[in-house]
Amino acid sequence: MNSLPFFIAWRYIKGRGNALLSLNARLSFIGIFVGTSLLVVVLSIFNGFQTQLKNSIFKFDPHLTLTRETGSGPEKITDWQAYKKRLQERYGDKAISIEGNITSPAIVRRKNTIEHIFLRGLEFTPAGKKWQIPSFFPQLVEPEGLQEIPQGNYCLIGREMAVNLGLYVGDTLEIVVPRGQFSLQLGVTPSIKAYKVAGFFKTGHYQYDSRVIVLPLQEAQNLFSVGEAVQQINIRLKSIEELREGKAIALKTWPFSIRTIEDEQRNFFHALQLEKTIMTIIVFLFVIAAIVGIVVATYNIVNSHRKDIGILKAIGVRNQTIVAVFTLSGFGMGFLGTLSGIMTGIFLALNLENIVSFIEKVINAVGRYYTEQWRDGIWFHVSLIPRDVYYFDSLPIHIDPHMLHMVGSVAIVLSGIAALLPALAASRLEPVRIIRGAE
């Protein structure tokens, strides 16, 4: 490999003397640098949101829901233990859990407040005089790390419901459900029971955390007075990517209704898809901007070195070397810009929380000073990411190495390709015209 093109290209990028970058290189460097670092931050936030949402939903919702539908709603499944056994044999280790389950609307009463909620009866394993909380259950935040609850009239509620109803662990609430069936029909007798709150859970999904009460299955069966029956059989697969195959297995055993998490959360999955599309568009726009930047910068470098090109060719440099010089110039700018852009992007993403709160502080300080001193008004605190709108404890950031790799290689490869055009134009300049001063 001939090192001459590297020597020349590097000098064109770096500029002479102690300059950090030549003027032209600085412009395109800044373009690529800002582009990639922002791209990394934006994609990391997108990724973080998606991961957070997925986790909160996949953690709590079963992947497959088997029910026996009739015209008036789900029918009781009394022989579910037999089915569970058959399903377990069929799935082997492809399923994490197969469970009888009750999921039904209900009413909760606390003092003078009445709320409609969803009741979930999940299979807890008995452990002495207690119920062991299943492993797939979401995080328990109060008491922290709770593993089991006492048998009897104890329930688990979402953290947000606790806040909304002003409940503490150990408080009592009443649950009202229809007796003997799972849906509210005409002429039902209600069944009312009081429960003590054994703990709060948090899925990260506001709907769940504010609306769901969990009981051990047996307690739920007692409440509904349905004997041993359940309302549905829930399957959690080992890999959520194999939803279709998973459903096919269930079909062989369960001749009734089967719904997947995608059917249940159609809107959610559509939203995820939409986010992916938007991300693709952002990346695409960035790529176009990067190409344009590199093409312009390389043309500038070619233009400001026309005399060099003339003299280099006159003293015997080949055309392909000229092409290499200017392609490398563009490539080098892209490489430097991308590398430092990605590193800065990672740094920004990791410190986004601090940065946002710093910007918030600045806005509020300046805003307060301005309104109070100059306008004689009252400044209302500005919150860039209002906690009551976005339901999370900290900004969800997920820096995906795949994404970094993709952004990086696309930007670097494209800057080389983008520089090729001006480089070819440079190699076609005729030295005799330059030396005569015609160009």
Partner 1 sequence: MKLLEVTNLVKRYRDGEARVDVIRQINFSMNEGDFVSIRGASGAGKSTFLNLLGALDTFDEGDILMQNKSLRLYAKEEGLAAYRRDKIGFIFQNHYLMADFTVLENAMFPLLIQKKKKIEARDRAAGILNRVGLGHRLHHYPSQISGGESQRAAVARALVHEPALVLADEPTGNLDAKNRRLFIELLNSLQQEKNLSILVVTHEEDLASAAQRQYLMQDGQLLDWR
Q: Which stretch binds partner 1 (CB under 8 A): 196-204, 231-239, 261-269, 300-308?
A: 300-308
As measured in angstroms, the least distance from the Cβ of 384 to partner 1 is 45
Look up tokens 């419901």; give the residue. Answer: 161
Closest contact distance (angstroms) between CB of 51 and partner 1 is: 48
Give the span between the Cα atoms of 218 and 215, in whole angstroms.
8
Which range in 40-48, 167-175, 250-258, 308-316 contacts partner 1 by CB under 8 A?
A: 308-316
**DSSP classification of residue 186:** T
Minimum CB distance to partner 1, residue 324 (Å)? 13
Say if residue 344 is exposed, middle or buried (CB neighbours under 10 Å; 0-12, 13-18, 19+). Answer: middle
Answer yes or no whether residue 171 interacts with partner 1 by CB under 8 A: no
- 163 lines the binding site for partner 1 (CB under 8 A): no
Count of chain residues binding partner 1 (CB under 8 A): 27
Decide whether 11 or 179 has the Cβ nearer to partner 1: 11
Q: How far is the CB of 46 from partner 1 (least distance, A)?
A: 42
Is there binding between residue 11 and partner 1 (CB under 8 A)?
Answer: yes
**CA-to-CA separations, 342 to 10, 104, 245, 300, 345, in angstroms, rounded:** 21, 48, 39, 25, 5
Q: How far is the CB of 335 from partner 1 (least distance, A)?
A: 19
The verdict on 24 binding partner 1 (CB under 8 A) reads no
The answer to whether 80 contacts partner 1 (rule: CB under 8 A) is no
- Candidates 64, 249, 317, 407; binder of partner 1 (CB under 8 A) is 317
Among the listed ranges 87-95, 268-276, 305-313, 417-425, the one in contact with partner 1 (CB under 8 A) is 305-313
Residue 12 in contact with partner 1, rule: CB under 8 A: yes
Q: Cβ closer to partner 1: 184 or 435? A: 435
Nearer to partner 1, 17 or 71 (CB): 17
310 interacts with partner 1 by CB under 8 A: yes
Nearer to partner 1, 62 or 332 (CB): 332
CB of 16 to partner 1, least distance (A): 5
Stretch that binds partner 1, among 73-81, 111-119, 312-320, 354-362 (CB under 8 A): 312-320
Number of other CB atoms surrounding residue 210 within 10 Å: 19
Q: Decide: is 315 part of the binding site for partner 1 (CB under 8 A).
A: yes
The smaller minimum CB distance to partner 1, of residues 222 and 300, is found at: 300
Among the listed residues 127, 278, 288, 314, the single contact to partner 1 using CB under 8 A = 314
Minimum CB distance to partner 1, residue 421 (Å): 22
Which of 145, 255, 316, 386 is close enough to bind partner 1 by CB under 8 A?
Answer: 316
Assess 435 for contact with partner 1 (CB under 8 A).
Answer: yes
Stretch that binds partner 1, among 12-20, 98-106, 129-137, 277-285 (CB under 8 A): 12-20
Q: Does residue number 303 form part of the binding site for partner 1 (CB under 8 A)?
A: no
Judged by CB, which is closer to partner 1: 125, or 303?
303
Q: Which of 294, 349, 255 is nearest to 46 (CA)?
A: 349
Residue placing its CB nearer to partner 1 in the complex, 22 or 101:
22
Decide: is 308 part of the binding site for partner 1 (CB under 8 A). yes
What does the H/E/C string look like for the chain?
Answer: CCCHHHHHHHHHHHCCCCCCCCHHHHHHHHHHHHHHHHHHHHHHHHHHHHHHHHHHHHHHCCCEEEECEECCEECCECCHHHHHHHHHHHHHHHEEEEEEEEEEEEEEEECCEEEEEEEEEECCEEECCEEECCCCCCEEEECECCCEEECCCEEEEEHHHHHHHCCCCCCEEEEEEECCCCCCCCCCCEEEEEEEEEEEEECCCHHHHHHEEEEEHHHHHHHHCCCCCECEEEEEECCHHHHHHHHHHHHHHCCCEEEEHHHHCHHHHHHHHHHHHHHHHHHHHHHHHHHHHHHHHHHHHHHHCHHHHHHHHHCCCCHHHHHHHHHHHHHHHHHHHHHHHHHHHHHHHHCHHHHHHHHHHHHHHHHHHHHHHHHCCCCCCCCCCCCCCCCCCCCCCCCCHHHHHHHHHHHHHHHHHHHHHHHHHHHCCCHHHHHCCCC
H/E run at residue 187: none
Q: Which residues bind partner 1 (CB under 8 A)?
A: 2, 4, 7, 11-12, 15-17, 22, 305, 307-308, 310-319, 431-432, 435-437
